[in-house]
Amino acid sequence: MASETVVIPPAELPEVELYHAKSWITKYVFSQDAKVIAIQYSGTAVLIGLVGLVLSWLMRLQLGFPETFSFIDESEYLQYVTLHGMIMVVYLLTALFLGGFGNYMIPLMVGARDMVFPYANMLSFWIYLLSVLILVASFFVPGGPTGAGWTLYPPQAITSGTPGSDGGIILMLVSLVFFIIGFTMGGLNYAVTVLQARARGMTLMMMPLTVWGIFVATILALFAFPALLVASIMMLFDRILDTSFFIPMIYEMGEVIPREGGSPVLFQHLFWFFGHPEVYIVALPAFGIVSDVISTHARKAIFGYRMMVWAIIAIGGLSFIVWAHHMYVSGMNPYFGFFFATTTLIIAIPTALKLYNWTLTLWKGNIHMTVPMLWCIAFIVTFLNGGVTGLFLGNVSVDVPLSDTMFVVAHFHMVMGVAPIFVIFAAIYHWFPLATGKMLNNAMGQFHFWVTFVGAYLIYFPMHYLGFVGVPRRYYEIGETTFVPPSAADLNAFITIMVLIVGFAQVVFIYNLLTSIFSGKKSEVNPWKATTLEWQTSEFPPGHGNFGDELPVVYRWAYEYGAPENVDDYVPQNIHPDKVARKPIAE
Amino acid sequence: MTSSTTTENMTGLQSAAADWASDQRTFKNVPWGKAMMWIFLLSDTFIFACFLIGYMALRIGATEPWPASSEIFALSMGGQPVPLLLIAIMTFILITSSGTMVMAVNFGYRKDRKKTALLLLITALLGASFVGMQAFEWTKLIVEEGVRPWSNPFGAAQFGSTFFMITGFHGVHVSVGVLFLLIVGRKVWRGEYDNQTRGFFTSRKGNYEIVETMGLYWHFVDLVWVFIFAFFYLW
């Protein structure tokens, strides 16, 4: 192999001119450096995510111990449910994976100096921040935030009687519109950077799977968010201008309202045309990150790289034709259910392929049980669990009795709540040294992992059972029914206690983050001995312009771990083949 | 996988995939701004598609009669209602502006500063007159016919809601386009793309490629209008 001649094409573009910050403000506040923007995105997302976390505690307090807390009334409970869902799905997960990890990892991993449009990238963050502030403002308007459920289904989202139908729903919709505008500015950056600004030798099939995952998720978001934008604008007009896009003839407070002809199902179609790809907007970056972290910490090449790439693309494509599996009980034509159940179950093929490949990557690997690796293994198990219950809900006849029960809550929390959050933790533990030059405390990391991992299962496994016995979701309290056994109340109390324990573990994590930034153990360069470009920068942590004087040239894929012909355990992507120490070939 | 692959022994499909995946740039000789605009327009296509599909769903499912488009959009000429008169003129103007835009791009490639700027200005003026006529049409519908977003005297309230929302959204696109045509035209006129003046916010040097990127957007707005025209005025 050593005698092989390597032909790397010359650079096609001249060196990009970077904006050089002239003051503290343009360097750290109104920064055009993707790495700073990434930290700003991540910080904002985590802060608003903590609000979502506290809302979940309040919700669980009510569910676990009904008629105990006088400060939670029915309306407030619904508002907690709504804002918890919206914050976690859109403002935390989407923003953190794409705005946070996308901004940090894409330019570094593809060998670019920065995103291609740094100014639009900066605007993207500030518009995102504005949308978060509008969302937070809805807590302080008369009537409070909207309590329509995170799906915001009309007509009840805007008719009187629903909490927050005064100002809350308006601010919610306006906030979503701004989020989408801000995201589009960032998303165009991520997509064009991946397509048009890679380093010499970095073909698409040389890219780490992290970049593939974020790239395809960005494309999904650019094509899915328009549906939410349109739905938000229409509902905003329904609320402000008294139009009837989504309002059929209905009774409100015993009287027919002077509207008719609108279609609530139209909103559901638009919402879920966004909502289902949204699941994969969150999941695909997680798939990519987990592939890279597993490969690095198991010192073994990812199994079936090409198939992993094609699976990401296939899942991305399929995610646009499954949306109505969220609508089996909506009153749409039942024949649609057959089509959407079929496409939904087809998605199991590429996702199962990915799960097998992760498992086969671990197989006979030199597995280092580091904290990032623990999170990744937890992800694989959890994603499998969540995926299996997805098979139940994807089938119309099984879904109908399970609709709007706790089973659904358990399913989507496992598959798109807990599983991607595990990957976010894996990614933070993995890349924290890169961003700060410090290591996170290992003991606190282990504690955080085990409490969160075990706790998540103790929370969500019983919830499946609650759903099977028929406990509905979004109910303020169940009261006494003929079909729900009294033991369900004990189970609910148990779940709530677990939620609070897991919540405490997150406080430990935040403490670990903050103390490690300032007083953590100094990280050596490339502490995990990874091959990808972000660890091969001239400065550590990477500085402005990422790669110093000369951009890297890529000679191989990102998974050269433990190759038998090499002397070293790993070979970074940018090491010239002549400089790689090879073992002598046995005669 | 360990080194760069050679393209000699590939089948057609494999070499096509290799071209797409080739290093540094997927689309060779496509500047960043142009690639960005294409992807943005794809995204924008989804927005207009959602609007128009929503409109179709509401119109098909309307519980009250839909106003006849041949009457409500007619202009009165010499006492006779002439259907589609105004809209035919508007469409003609917008399509013409696409023609002047193409010419501007053409002269932009040749770095012909004055002709490019002049054609951009003409395109902007045609666009502005389109928006002006749209304002006239809206005024006629609102003031004379009594059409409102929430109701109208002719039947289904969704007629006004969808019409104002979708033509309004398109009108905003045209107006933004006019604004940027003027900005780009001014930069061309002042020779900022010839002497590499740095941009105000981005501090990057501009070049004539921006004229083509601007043209992509303008043609897209025209194309969308063809669909809006068909679905609102001919249905």
Phi, psi angles (nearest 5°) of residue B80: -105, 130
User: What is the per-residue pLDDT for A1?
Assistant: 42
d(CA A182, CA A179): 5
* Interface A-B: count of C-beta contacts within 8 A: 167
Q: So what's the ipTM on this one?
A: 0.94
Kindly report the average pLDDT of chain A as a whole number.
Answer: 93
Mean pLDDT of A413-419: 94
Residues present in chain B in total:
235
Q: What angle do CA A60, A154, A159 make, to 5 degrees?
A: 90
Integer Rg of chain A from CA: 25
Distance in angstroms (rounded) separating the CA atoms of residues A205 and A307: 11
Q: Which amino acid is at A407?
A: F
Let me know: does A121 contact A103? Beta carbons within 8 Å: yes
Q: Is A561 helix (H, G, I), strand (E, B) or coil?
A: strand
- Residue A527 tokens read as 């502490």
Question: What is the DSSP secondary structure assignment for residue A568, as one 8-state letter?
Answer: S
Judged by CB atoms closer than 8 Å, whether chains meet at B21 and A203 is answered as yes
Rounded-to-integer distance, Cα B191 and Cα B188, Å: 5
Instruction: Tell me which of A99-113, B12-26, B84-98 is least confident.
Output: B12-26
What does the DSSP 8-state code read for residue A17? P
Q: What is the pLDDT of residues A474-512, one digit of tens each?
A: 999 888 888 898 889 999 999 999 999 999 999 999 999
Length of chain A: 587
Chain-chain contact of B61 with A261 (C-beta, under 8 angstroms): yes
**Which residue among A225, A234, A242 places its CB closest to the CB of B54?**
A234
A215-267 pLDDT, tens digit per residue, is: 999 999 999 999 999 999 999 999 999 999 999 988 877 888 888 889 999 99
**Torsion A481-A485-A486-A489 (CA) sign:** negative
Is pLDDT above 50 for B124? yes
Q: What is the pLDDT of residue A549?
A: 87
Q: Which helix (H) or strand (E) holds A54?
A: helix A34-64
Average the pLDDT over each of A157-161, A390-394, B79-83, B126-130 and give the range with the smallest value: B79-83
pLDDT-wise least confident of A18-27, A390-399, B37-46, B165-174? A18-27
The whole-number pLDDT of residue A446 equals 97
Cβ pair A276, A318 in contact under 8 A: no
Choose the mutation target among A116, A243, A295 for the interface with B, i.e. most B CBs under 10 Å. Answer: A243
Residue A3: the pLDDT is 46
Q: Cβ contacts of residue B222 below 8 Å, gap of 6+?
A: B94, B95, B97, B98
User: Which residue from B114, B125, B122, B107 is spatially nearest to B191, judged by alpha carbons?
Assistant: B114
Dist. CA A184–CA A125, nearest whole Å: 11
Question: Which numeric CATH code is attached to B31-234?
Answer: 1.20.120.80
What is the distance between the terminal CA atoms of chain A, rounded to a whole angstrom? 15
Predicted pLDDT of residue A52: 96
Out of A5-19, A97-111, A392-406, B151-165, pick the least confident.
Answer: A5-19
Smallest CA–CA distance, residue B104 to chain A, in Å, is 25
Please give the Cα distance from A258 to A193 (Å, whole number).
Answer: 51
- The token duo for B3 is 């080194």
A99 DSSP 8-state letter:
I
Distance, in Å, from the CA atom of A272 to the CA atom of A279, rounded to the nearest integer, reads: 10
Residues with Cβ < 8 Å from A168, sequence gap 6 or more?
A: A79, A138, A141, A143, A144, A145, A146, A147
Sequence ranges of the domains in chain B: 31-234
Cβ of A255 under 8 Å from any chain B Cβ? no
CA gap B32, B206 in Å, rounded? 12
| Predicted confidence band of residue A4 (pLDDT cuts 50, 70, 90) | low
Using a CB-CB cut-off of 8 Å, the residues of chain A touching B150 are: 241-244
Alpha helices in A363-441 (DSSP H): 371-394, 396-402, 406-412, 419-436
State mean pLDDT over A534-559: 91
Q: And the tokens for B200?
A: 């105000």
Q: What are the residues whose beta carbons fall under 8 Å from the beta carbon of A584, sequence distance 6 or more?
A: none
Determine the distance in angstroms separating the CA of B58 from the nearest CA of chain A, rounded to an integer. Answer: 7
pLDDT at residue A2, rounded to an integer? 44
3-state secondary structure of B174: helix
User: How far is it, in rounded angstroms, from Cα A280 to Cα A295?
Assistant: 22
Is there a contact between A373 and A298 (Cβ–Cβ < 8 Å)? yes
Q: How far apart are CA B176 and CA A306, in angstroms?
A: 43
Q: How many CB atoms within 10 Å of residue B92? A: 12
Contacts of A322-327 spanning 24+ positions with Cβ under 8 A: A322/A276, A322/A347, A323/A269, A323/A272, A323/A273, A323/A275, A323/A276, A323/A277, A324/A269, A324/A272, A325/A276, A325/A393, A325/A394, A325/A399, A326/A268, A326/A272, A326/A275, A326/A276, A327/A265, A327/A268, A327/A269, A327/A272
- CB contact at 8 A, A492 and A63: yes
The answer to whether the Cβ–Cβ distance between A227 and B22 falls below 8 Å is no
Environment class of A80 (CB within 10 Å of its CB; exposed 0-12, middle 13-18, buried 19+): buried
Please indicate whether, in this complex, the C-beta atoms of A229 and B4 are within 8 angstroms of each other. no
- Predicted model pTM: 0.95
Q: Which of A115, A188, A198 best tests the B interface by mutation, with the highest count of B CBs <10 A?
A: A188
A204 touches chain B (CB under 8 A): yes
Q: CATH code for A37-247+262-579?
A: 1.20.210.10
Q: What is the pLDDT of residues A316-360, one digit of tens each?
A: 999 999 999 999 999 888 888 999 999 999 999 999 999 999 999
Q: What is the pLDDT of residue B3?
A: 42
pLDDT in tens, A197-212: 999 999 999 999 999 9
Over residues B24-46, mean pLDDT = 94
Label residue A5 by pLDDT band (50, 70, 90): low
Confidence band (pLDDT; 50, 70, 90) for B8?
A: low
Q: How far is CA A406 from CA A281, A328, B144, in A?
A: 24, 17, 55
Tell me what percent of the residues of chain B surpass a pLDDT of 70.
94
The reported pLDDT for the residue numbered A587 is 60
* pLDDT band, very low/low/confident/very high, at B4 (cuts 50, 70, 90): very low
Whether the Cβ atoms of residue A554 and residue A574 lie closer than 8 Å to each other: yes
Strand partners, A255: A252
Contact A299, A232 (CB under 8 A): no
pLDDT tops 60 at residue B175: yes
Q: Which pLDDT score is estimated for B21?
A: 82
B58 contacts A261 by C-beta, under 8 angstroms: yes
For A444-454, write each residue's pLDDT tens digit: 999 999 999 99
Residue B198 is predicted with a pLDDT of 80
pLDDT confidence of B6, banded at 50, 70, 90? low
pLDDT digit string, tens, across residues A551-563: 999 999 999 998 8
Distances (CA, A) of A194 to A31, A219, A397, B22, B32: 21, 11, 42, 12, 11
Residues of A in contact with B166 (CB under 8 A): none
Interface test with B, best of A4, A195, A578 (most B CBs within 10 A): A195
pLDDT digits (tens, 9 = 90+) for A525-537: 999 999 999 999 9
Q: How many CB atoms neighbour CB B71 within 10 A?
A: 11
Please determine, for residue A460, whether its predicted confidence score (pLDDT) is greater than 70: yes
Residue B191 pLDDT exceeds 80: yes
Q: Tell me which of A142-146, A358-362, A484-488, B175-179 is least confident.
A: A484-488
Cα separation of B179 and B127, whole Å?
10
Closest CB from A4, A116, A237 relative to B149? A237
In this structure, how many other beta carbons lie within 10 angstroms of the beta carbon of residue A507? 12
